[in-house]
Structure 1
Amino acid sequence: MKAKAAVMWGPGEPFSVEEIELDPPQEQEVLVRIEAAGLCHSDDHARTGDAPANFPVIGGHEGSGVIEQVGPGVLHHKVGDHVVFSFTPVCGRCHWCSTGRQNLCDFGALIGTGQMISGGVRTHARGRDLGPAALLGTFSSHVVVNEANCVKLDEDIPFDVACLLGCGVPTGWGSAVRVGQVQPGETVVVVGIGGIGANALQGARLAGAKNVVAVDPVPFKHDKAKTFGATHTASSFEEARELVSDITRGVMADVAILTVGVVRGTMMEPFLDLVSKGGRAVLTGVAPFDDHDAKIPLQMFAMYEKQLRGTVFGGCNPRADIPLLAALYRNGQLQLDELVTTRYSLDDINLGYQDMLAGKNIRGIVVRDA
């Protein structure tokens, strides 16, 4: 069938919105009509080269929609199901899935290869095969994906906020709750208030943090941060360090979470300075793959028993935590509507990324017929 998608043909190039050919779903695959897709910074990392990509690639890894066709061997989904995609697939059988760490599923090794889980690709244009970003490629009117990436969604959850449950919301929320293990009464610092950082603020608030400090150089994001649970704001590492020292009487933060758009090795020392003795520093943001130079004061790191923790998908289990987060939204405990700053049509996707890089959005989304 014919579909419409945003294709990045090479590094440094903008998206080209054009007609593509889409093959029918194969073993354990489904055809989904996309209703909404989130504009995550990770998709821009492919353009800049900070993350690997096999070009040409259809962008997008946050998405929600309706299943229109199922391939052979599909066990858990049917035509008409509302689904949200998890960019981390879940096989349910590997060591990681079977020990409750679905975010580390072995299928995740295929992310960035430009191939489907069962091999090959299902999308084509200009006589070439098109790989899907993160096994998904949600910047499209329709996609074929493996059911390992699909989580069934209750129909009362709107598509335009449900799409965020596939990456930004669990990654940020889980960075605080699952990986940071925020406890009631603690002090938490979140550095970088975009689609991930805003949800780290929400996670800290829901976990009962006493002080929640949002750090971002963009004044607009200071006001938005308070919507998601920030009690204090700062514009830089230096300003945050002074503020946190003041409100904790020199103890410093129990948890700090780094969610800036591009992590640099030079950030690690001032980032670790924000946490207390025995504090947990959670590295969530994406760094360039060739940046291996992170300087850490080792004696301080050891003698103060500070902890540096990495995470993907916020340590969440997609099949359990995506429905949990949807339930928190339904009950009014998790703010999703407030995350969406601007809605775009697929044709305006490059404008959406310009706005993101300019600091205008918490999260922009592409919606059908916008």
Structure 2
Amino acid sequence: MLIKAAVTFNKGEEFVIEEVELDSPKDDEVLIKMVSSGVCHTDAVARDQLIPVPLPAVLGHEGAGIVEKVGNNVKGIKAGDHVVLSFSSCGHCENCLTGKPYVCEEFNPLNFGGTMNDGTKRLKKGNQELSTFFGQSSFATYAVVNSRNAVVIDKEVDLSIMGPLGCGFQTGAGTVLNGLRPEFGSSIAVFGMGSVGLTAIMGAKIAGCEKIIAIGGTPSKLKLAVELGATHTINYREVEDVVEEIKKITGGGAHYTVETTAVPKIVNQGLYGLRVLGTCAIVGATGDVTLNVQNALMAEGKTMKGFIEGNSVPKLFIPKLVKYFKNGKFPIDKLVKKYDFEDINQAFKDSHEGKVIKPILMIE
């Protein structure tokens, strides 16, 4: 079928909305009429080839839409269902079989390799095949996805803002709720007030943390963090020593820290801001960091651990987040700004410049 999609032809170039051809779903796949898609930093780094996704490609990996057709072998999904699209996993490796699809042994080729689970592609422009991203390529009017990617959600919620639950929002909340699992009454400090950091704040409130410290450099985002559950804020532009400020607030250091910025200096702050036996969650795609292992980690029995996609099993975790949203405990509507699909390049520009927390492209 002919659809419209935002195509990335070459490294760093702007998205171009083109008419492309989408193949029909196979037996284990689902055809989705896209309603919206979140804009994520991972799409930008794929466009700019910091992650070497084969080009040309149709990016987008925070899709939300309505099921139009299901393959013969698909169970639990039917036409008319509202779905959020999440990351790809194989379903048969040891990690998938033990409930850890977020560290699927095939995660990188399935999500960044440009093909579907069977190694083939579904999109083309003329004679040129186009790579798929995260098994969904949600920057398009329609998408074909493996049934493992599609999570059925409650039809009563606003589907248009649900897409980021497939990646960014589940990463922040899941890092806290599934990964760290903080004890009731514990303390946590979150570095970076983007969509991941702010949903981590929400997760910490849900978990019952007593002291929730939001750390960032934009007053408006720190104010929003308080609305979402932060008990304290630190503006790193105004504080001489962030680590000492954390220790003052917590009486010796936080039980947990969440680092979302990928800035080496802040990674160290996340470690030194912990108390003895504390845990630092690394969420940002971080490069080389100079680290004194004795002082930052070993001497006080601390842990530094990486978390991917919030350690989530999407088909279980995303519906839980939707319930929290309905109950007013996960107010993701405060993070989003909607853009017309045709304004995709402006949405990316505004996101890069920090003018918006989570852009959502309205595709329907």
- For the superposition of Structure 1 and Structure 2, which TM-score range results when normalised by the shorter chain? over 0.9
SS in 1 for 2:119: coil
Partner of 1:354: 349
Do 1:123 and 1:129's aligned partners in 2 also have CA atoms closer than 8 Å?
Answer: yes
Q: CA offset at residue 101 of structure 1? A: 1.7
Q: Show CA shifts across 1:295-347 (max 9, x none).
A: 2211121111110010111111112111111111122221121121x100111
Is 1:101 aligned with 2:97? no
- Is 72-81 or 5-14 further displaced after alignment? 72-81
What's the TM-score once normalised by structure 1's chain length? Answer: 0.92
Runs of 4+ in 1 over 4 A off after TM superposition: none
C-alpha distance in structure 2 between counterparts of 1:76 and 1:181, whole Å: 29
C-alpha distance in structure 2 between counterparts of 1:67 and 1:364, whole Å: 23
Where does the alignment leave 5 or more consecutive residues of structure 2 unmatched? none
C-alpha distance in structure 2 between counterparts of 1:44 and 1:116, whole Å: 21
Equivalent position to 2:309, from 313, 316, 329: 313
Do 1:107 and 1:117's aligned partners in 2 also have CA atoms closer than 8 Å?
Answer: no
Taking only aligned residues, the RMSD between alpha carbons, in angstroms, comes to 1.7
Do 2:205 and 2:229's aligned partners in 1 also have CA atoms closer than 8 Å?
Answer: yes
Partner of 1:52: 52
Partner of 1:272: 271
Where does the alignment leave 5 or more consecutive residues of structure 1 unmatched? none
Is 1:193 aligned with 2:188? no
Letter in 1 for 2:289: A
Equivalent position to 1:304, from 300, 307, 310: 300
Q: Show CA shifts across 1:131-187 (max 9, x none).
A: 121111111110111111011112112112221211122110111122122122222
What's the TM-score once normalised by structure 2's chain length? Answer: 0.94
Do 2:191 and 2:266's aligned partners in 1 also have CA atoms closer than 8 Å?
Answer: no
SS in 1 for 2:130: strand
Q: CA offset at residue 227 of structure 1? A: 1.9
Partner of 2:216: 216
Do 2:28 and 2:72's aligned partners in 1 also have CA atoms closer than 8 Å?
Answer: yes
Cα distance change, pair 89–159 in 1 and its aligned pair in 2 (3 A): farther
Letter in 1 for 2:31: L
SS in 2 for 1:14: coil
Do 1:38 and 1:61's aligned partners in 2 also have CA atoms closer than 8 Å?
Answer: yes
Letter in 2 for 1:309: K
Q: CA offset at residue 198 of structure 1? A: 0.9
C-alpha distance in structure 1 between counterparts of 2:105 and 2:151, whole Å: 18
Do 1:90 and 1:103's aligned partners in 2 also have CA atoms closer than 8 Å?
Answer: no
Q: Please list, as runs of the form range in 1=range in 2, the aligned pairs for 1:101-120 lying within 5 A after superposition.
A: 101-109=100-108, 110-120=110-120
Partner of 1:365: 360
Partner of 1:240: 242
Q: CA offset at residue 107 of structure 1? A: 4.3
Q: Show CA shifts across 1:46-77 (max 9, x none).
A: 13333221111111100111111222322232
**Count of residues in correspondence between the two structures:** 360
Q: Show CA shifts across 1:261-320 (max 9, x none).
A: xx1445432321121111110001123xxx3x3222111211111100101111111121
Letter in 2 for 1:276: R
Do 2:140 and 2:363's aligned partners in 1 also have CA atoms closer than 8 Å?
Answer: no
Partner of 1:339: 335
SS in 1 for 2:148: helix
